[in-house]
Amino acid sequence: MSGRVVRGRVVDAEGRPIEGVDVRLYRLDPAREGSTRSDHPVRTDADGRFEFGPSPETEAGVALGASPQVDQPFRSRQSCEIAAHGDTTIVLAPGAGVRVRAVDSMGAPLDASEWRVSLARDKIARADADRLRAVYERLVAVGVHAEDWESRLVAAGIDVTALRQHASAGGIGASNASVDRNGSAEFRGLVTGTFRVRLYRHLPGQSALASVDPECTAVESGDAEVVDGRLVLRGPATVVVRVAVDAA
């Protein structure tokens, strides 16, 4: 694939083009065996199209990743294989981005050199975890491969629709971002669901970050709400997190 022009489109589940998505081309890194690197992203046009010119080096393009803007209602897509011939189509599932404004008790932005924001997904219920483990064991038992996973799932007696619902709910994990000089942090392409909002602060003389619970989390705009201190995200939103600075 060396020297090849890589082009394609980014669309939603209905095949409609998505403008403004940042697409990255991941290439094999000749300096580090088994590693990849990416160049600056290319942004899709009004027809959802993107194009990467041929690489001047002897490395090959290996995968594509797509990251929507924070105000676009889509999930990020990583590790999309490049079509052997012709254009590559990247399909983005519904999702959301979040812009967090972190302020102190007086409403002033938090110091960008000290603070980070974390969105941590709530852990799935034990019953759901057990069910997913059982599904995984059955997949291993029947030797499912990516190219025919759906037919193998059906043959194994697994409810494909239910499995998709579990997959779309996301797993356990957290996304972290530093705040900028305006006290803002952006999280693109998240899976919708429930998140715990936390802040972390660099304390002088300490290597570890100190966890700080916010005084208040409120939705400023967008399709989200705060329930029992958790952020319930259904679409792109802007959230304000207020913290007492001396709490750290």
Task: Give 139-184 pLDDT, tens digit per residue.
Answer: 666 665 555 666 666 666 666 555 555 554 444 457 889 999 999 9
DSSP state of 1: -
d(CA 60, CA 1): 5
Position 82 scores a pLDDT of: 86
pTM value surpassing 0.75? no
Maximum average pLDDT range among 118-132, 136-150, 187-201: 187-201
Angle at 49 between CA 37 and CA 76, to 5 degrees: 55
80-112 pLDDT tens trace? 888 888 899 999 999 999 999 999 999 999 999
| Average pLDDT estimate for 28-48 | 77
Say whether pLDDT at 124 is over 60: no
Give the confidence band of 248 by pLDDT, cuts at 50, 70, 90. Answer: very low
DSSP state of 206: -
Among 22-31, 89-98, 179-188, 217-226, which stretch is predicted with the lowest mean pLDDT?
Answer: 22-31
For 211-231, what is the mean pLDDT?
93
CA separation, residue 136 to residues 139, 157, 162 (Å)? 5, 13, 14
Exposure letters 115-142 (e unless 16+ CB within 10 A, then b): bbbbbbbeebeeeeeeeeeebeeebeee
Q: What percent of the chain has pLDDT over 70?
A: 70
For residues 20-41, give the mean pLDDT: 76
Q: Which amino acid is at 222?
A: G
41: pLDDT strictly greater than 70: yes
The dihedral through the CA atoms of 27, 33, 35, 38 has a sign that is negative
CB atoms within 10 A of CB 8: 22
Contact 102, 243 (CB under 8 A): yes
Segment 209-221 shows an average pLDDT of 91
What pLDDT shows up at residue 1? Answer: 44
Q: What is the pLDDT of residue 39?
A: 72
Pick the residue with more confidence: 161 or 244? 244
